[in-house]
Structure 1
């Protein structure tokens, strides 16, 4: 318990330092950097995976309160974009995976699983079941995830400026956030009753999602019940401190995955890592621009929505930088479901054909 508390304290201090240095999403990136540095230098650091569940539940509760009836009406319009994105991710897995097999002599299972745009833990477990090299898969997946999280704030900021101002979709969302703030000011007397209800119901929903065995089940369950509360009872948005806490939990957990050995291993996989990261960043900018031109999302939110990192982490990051959290979370959750449920089946079919 003392070790866990020390890890969280290091993450929290890193978050405040990140805020002082004006990092984007300071509590997530600051906590990730501080815990990662401590883990590499001393190694004696840990954080239970239950904190990942806690981060997902709190994040889901916060995201769900941004969802309105008007957001539900746009889901049919988002469906073609989501299907197209999944198709592009599948083609990218096949193309980059084949390149790793031919140029770097990866076996088929290791090459394909290394290119999945899914969670590090989930894909690493798949690699064990499918006969791949778990250490290589975990290293490439970690590098992709951390690389995206580090590059994304600057990347999104740059391309948002290049592609012009945000569209009306974002302005509408900003107005919604503004109205939420005004509502909170009027209802301070019901502060604890409102927040307690949201967090209690979201926790139950998150635990139910875990019980069902859904990928990122805690996030999916908490988002669904929190949004249901918002739509049916018109509950008020949670204060930002809850989101900051979720960012510290998530960032600290990511930081614990770093070690000196993992850094040494990454040096031998530099070119595959650059290739993998580059392919997803190219997809991100072209697909993000295409979504924005369709008028369904502003440029910034479109870039976040098509980023291949954790659904929880991207949603938290986007919320801090001004993205449309409900739509981003919807697309990210669909991507996660597809990655965990459908893409492994595709890999199995390919492996059976190659045998």
Structure 2
């Protein structure tokens, strides 16, 4: 009998471990428990018991993408005619995000260059407030320290995903989101209903990749879900257990990113990520508060829209906190697109490639 491939052997174990952490976090009342609990549990394993995760192991991306696609469908279902009426007010918040991207990049560069003592290329791309893959790719071409760059970019997302719901829980004095009973599920969904949902999700992923959409595994299904919602052809409705499972899968995959990182490098990265993420969250909160009267939108929805986490992760935070995920996702797609354009332009001018 041939040996079982590493991914098939290790992935179920990690998911089970992540799920146990998620239920434990739910029991003690953490916000966004299934994502944070699974992420923290697997991250601790990867950092302190790294030999449990084979060297070179990568969480199966296609498997993760399938659950992200289902989340995209749910977000798309929130796109309604009422949301379109908010587009004029979005001009104000999108303009403020334009300012946020430039200011965050500048502040982060100072943090990573002056405090972290990274070289200019590493400091610049570590400070990117979005575009994780693009920042890593362009930074490597510019000669940045790739291990430091990967660490800081993943810590940016992890730190924001961790700090935002915890901070809102402290602000309210009670758990918020899924730990407080919030849910986006509208009722029980039988197994037969899942078949068309899976088919639509697969079609959405194909659409996202064909059109080269940013975060295509999320935005492709989101577009299809929105079209179905607006047309009334099909009601997209995911059961809560599936939403919880998606959070466990995303959280577990984030936790595996800590494998192979030395304790000293991790400690330095955590301090810098805390400074950087704290500065960006403070800027985002100030800007969100400033435009509440101009947009008429809830402060917490605007705060989530400014928080510089990943699109998928911030969409899950929005779902958990009962904020409009379509509104939030639109702002994050704009932030990432703007950041990628800025990185590409800066890379050509500040860090031209050497050689022929």
Q: TM-score, normalised by structure 1?
A: 0.84
Tell me, in whole angstroms, the C-alpha distance in 2 between the residues paired with 1:348 and 1:94. Answer: 18
Distance in 2 of aligned mates of 1:194 and 1:230: 16
Say whether residues 1:37 and 2:44 are aligned partners.
yes
Aligned equivalents of 2:283, 2:107: Cα separation in 1: 13
Deviation at 1:68, TM superposition (A): 0.8
Shift of 1:30: 1.1
CA distance in 2, matches of 1:8, 1:21: 20
In 1, distance between residues paired with 2:262 and 2:85? 45
- Please state if 1:55 is matched with 2:67: yes
Deviation at 1:260, TM superposition (A): 5.8
User: Considering only aligned residues, what root-mean-square deviation do their CA atoms show, in Å?
Assistant: 2.6
Aligned to 1:78: 90
Correspondence for 1:199: 198
1:133 aligns with 2:132: no
CA distance in 2, matches of 1:51, 1:126: 26
**Residue 103 and residue 254 in structure 1: after superposition, are their counterparts in 2 closer, same or farther (change >3 A)?**
closer
CA contact 2:122–2:145 (8 Å) conserved in 1? yes
Query: Take 2:105 and 2:142, find their aligned partners in 1: how far apart are those partners?
Result: 16
Structure 2: distance between partners of 1:194 and 1:329: 26
Are 1:285 and 1:303, in contact at CA under 8 Å, matched by a contact in 2?
Answer: yes
Equivalent pairs counted in the alignment come to 331
Name the structure with the higher helix share: 1
1:97-108 matches, within 5 Å, as 97-98=109-110, 100-102=112-114, 104-108=116-120
Alignment partner of 2:32 out of 6, 25, 30: 25
CA contact (8 A) 2:19 2:248 kept: yes
1:221 aligns with 2:220: yes
Pairing of 1:1-355 with structure 2 (within 5 A): 1-43=8-50, 44-45=52-53, 46=57, 47-98=59-110, 100-102=112-114, 104-159=116-171, 181=186, 191=190, 194-232=193-231, 233=233, 235-259=235-259, 261-269=261-269, 272-351=272-351
Does the 8 Å CA contact 2:25/2:36 hold for their aligned counterparts? yes
Indicate the SS of the match to 1:268. helix
In structure 2, the gaps of 5 or more residues are 1-7, 174-181
Which runs of 5 or more residues in structure 1 are unaligned?
162-173
- Distance change >3 Å, CA 262–CA 293, structure 1 → 2: farther
SS state of the match for residue 158, structure 2?
helix
Q: Secondary structure at the match of 1:294?
A: helix
What is the alpha-carbon distance in structure 1 between the residues aligned to residue 220 and residue 88 of structure 2? 21
321 and 346 in structure 1: CA distance in 2 versus 1, 3 angstrom threshold: same
